Structure 1
C-alpha cells in the first residue's frame, strides 16, 4: 500500500528531485507517457539513494511508484485543459516547489512552472504546434504557442529526442545549442521479432494481410493521405485482399478525415482498433505487411523504431525527424504523393526479397535506440543541473 504525501516533505541530505508525472495514468499511456515511464523507472531503480517526489494530478496507480525512494505527491486539479494546465503548473506545482525546495525539477513533457529558485530540466519533444497549428483546437494552440517559448527560456537545460527537434528549438525560440541535448528514445524489450503469433489477425482482420498505422488519429498524422494511398494500392493488379488497420484513439478527428474513410471504395477494409494494449500492438507489428508512418511532422516517430524492432518494414514520410530516425532503414517517401506510397506498398506485398532487405536494415538500425542509454544520459543532465545551480 502506497502512503501518499500530499503537501509537505521532509528535508534530507540526499539529492531531492521533483518530477512532473502528470501523464503516468493507467491504461492511458501515449507516446510521451511511455517515455516518462521508461526513463523514470530506470532513474529510480538505478539511483536508490536519491529521493524522488512524483507530482501527480490524481491518485496514481502504485505500479508507477517504482521504488521506496519515491514519494507520490497529489496536486489538484486534474489538468487536461489549457486553463487547468495553467492552474496546475503555474500555481500548484510552483507553490509546491517554493514550499519544499527540491534540488531540481524534471519535466518529461515540455510543461513547466515559472522559474523561481528550483533548477528546471525540461524535455521538449517537438514543436509540431508551430508548424501545423491548424491541426489543434484553438485553446490548445494558443496555450502552446504562448507558453512553450517561455518554457524553453525558463529551462536550465532542455532535452529533446532528435537533432531535427534540437535545431528547430534553436532557430524558432533562439535558444543556445549548448543548452539543448539530443537523447534518442529507446525501444521497449517487448518489441521484438522473436515470434509471429496469429493473435492480431485472428481478432481484427480475419486472417487477411494488412498494412498498419499506429498513433493517435488526428490531422497531423495524415490519415487522409494514408487512405488515398491504400485506395490506389488496392486498385493495382494482383494485389491480394488486404486490409488497412488504423490503431489509435481518435483525437481532434475531422470531418475531412471521416469523409476520406467513408468515401473510400474499400471502406469496409479499413479497420479501427482504438488504442491497442502492448501485447496486441506487438502482434500487430509482427503480423503486418508493413507500417505506414506518413505524418506531416514528427519530433521522433516512435512507431518507426517499434515496427522495425518487430521485424516489420516501414514506409515513412521523408520530412522532419522522420528522415533522421528512418534514415537508411525505412522506405522514405513523399507523404503527399499517394502513387509513390502505393507503389512501395505494392513492392512490400509482392516482392519477398525486397521486403526481407528492408526488414534487415530496420533491425540493424534499431541498435541505436536504447532506454538504458536514454536514462543514463538523462541522469547526467539532471545531476549536473542540480550540482551547478
Structure 2
C-alpha cells in the first residue's frame, strides 16, 4: 500500500497537529507502510522523519501560496507518485485528486460549529470553506473520538461516506525529574496543573475565577500552574490574576520542553482542564500516564477520553469547578481513588494502535474507491 500524506502542519515544532502527523507517519512506517509526505515548505528540523520515507517539499511560504500548493501542486505530486490512498490528517483534502486515488480525511474537532467564538477569524474561515468539501470528497472519514464522529453525522446528515473512530496515540514523555527541578519556575508548593495553548477554548478565565473562589486554606495548600504557549485573546489573564490577588498562587510557565513537562505531570496533584470543547484532549492522557487524576469537562470528547479517572464538571459553572478543585486538592483519599486505573486508561492510546486502525481505514477506502471506479 502506498500512502500519500498531507504534511503541511509539519512546518512548526509547536503545532499540535504537526506532532500528531509526525507520530502517525513514524507508526505507519514501523508497520511497513510505504509513505510519501508532501509539504508546501521545508519540514521543521525538530521532526525526525524516518529514513526511507519519501518527502517532497516546495517553497510556498505565504498563506495564498500554500493554498495554491494544496489544490494544484500537491495533487500533481500524488498522481506522479501513484499513491493508492491519500490522507488529509487535519480537515483538508485537495478538491481535485486523480480519480484512482482513494482519499481519507481525519476530523479532530468541530470547534467552528460548537465554539466559533473561541477561534481566530482566519482559522474559522478556513474551516468553514474547506471542511465540507473534504467531507464530500472523502471515501472514508475518520474522527479522533466517538463524540466527534457522532457530532459529524448529526451536523452533516448529507454525509454519505462512512465515519470511523480511530483514537490518536500519545508519545511517551521522558523520565521525570525530582520536584526540586521545578524551583526555577517558582514552583515550590503542591500544585494542580493545566497544560495547553492559552486560548479562549481552554476556559482559563473560568478556571482562574474558580480558583479564586476556593477557601484561603485550600489555596495556601495547592497552587495552580498554567503551562502553555500564548495563543490569542488571553492577554487579560494576568490582569485577572492580579485583580484577584492570586499572583503568589497562580504560576504561568509559558511553553516548556518535554523533560520539564514530564516533571510537571509527575509531581502535580491533578490535572485541571475544564475546556469548553475538545476534539480529544491529549493532556488528559498524558497526565493519566503518570497516574494522575483529572478534573475536566462533561462535554464533547472529554468524558470518553478520561474514562473513570476524572471528576467531570460543567465548564460554564465556576462554582462546580471550584468545588471539584477543592475536593481534589484537600481529600487525598478521594484523589487517589480517582487515580486508580489512570495508567491503564492512558494505555489505550498508543501510536501503534492508531497506525493499525488507520491501515484498516486505508484498505477500506481503497476498496470503496475501486467500487466507485467500476
> Shared topology, TM-score over 0.5?
yes
Q: Supply the distance in 1 between the matched residues of 2:364 and 2:180 (Cα, whole angstroms).
A: 46
Q: 1:301 aligns with which of 273, 278, 281?
A: 281
> Are 2:2 and 2:36, in contact at CA under 8 Å, matched by a contact in 1?
yes
1:349 corresponding residue in structure 2:
329
Q: Supply the distance in 1 between the matched residues of 2:149 and 2:275 (Cα, whole angstroms).
A: 19
Asked if 1:358 is matched to 2:348, the reply is no
Asked if 1:168 is matched to 2:151, the reply is yes
Query: Deviation of residue 200 (structure 1)?
Result: 4.9
User: 351-360 vs 84-93, which deviates more?
Assistant: 84-93
Query: Deviation of residue 127 (structure 1)?
Result: 0.7
Q: Which secondary structure state, in structure 1, belongs to the residue aligned with residue 205 of structure 2?
A: helix
Counterparts of residues 9-158 of structure 1 (less than 5 Å) = 15-25=1-11, 27-30=13-16, 32-47=17-32, 50-60=33-43, 61=45, 64-68=48-52, 70-78=53-61, 81=63, 83-116=64-97, 117=99, 118-158=101-141
2:372 corresponding residue in structure 1:
none
Q: Supply the distance in 1 between the matched residues of 2:298 and 2:155 (Cα, whole angstroms).
A: 21
Q: 2:351 aligns with which of 360, 364, 371?
A: 371
Which structure 1 segments of 5+ residues have no match?
1-14
User: 362-371 vs 327-336, which deviates more?
Assistant: 362-371
Q: Supply the distance in 2 between the matched residues of 1:17 and 1:180 (Cα, whole angstroms).
A: 19
Q: Supply the distance in 1 between the matched residues of 2:121 and 2:42 (Cα, whole angstroms).
A: 30
Q: 1:242 aligns with which of 193, 216, 222?
A: 222
Q: 1:64-113: per-residue Cα shift (whole Å, max 9, x none)?
A: 32132x1110023136x4x4552231232133234444211112112111
Q: CA RMSD in A?
A: 2.3
Q: Which secondary structure state, in structure 1, belongs to the residue aligned with residue 37 of structure 2?
A: strand
TM-score for the superposition, normalised by structure 2: 0.90
TM-score for the superposition, normalised by structure 1: 0.86
Which structure 2 segments of 5+ residues have no match?
370-374
1:150 to 1:367, Cα distance in 2 relative to 1, 3 A? same
Q: Supply the distance in 1 between the matched residues of 2:278 and 2:131 (Cα, whole angstroms).
A: 17
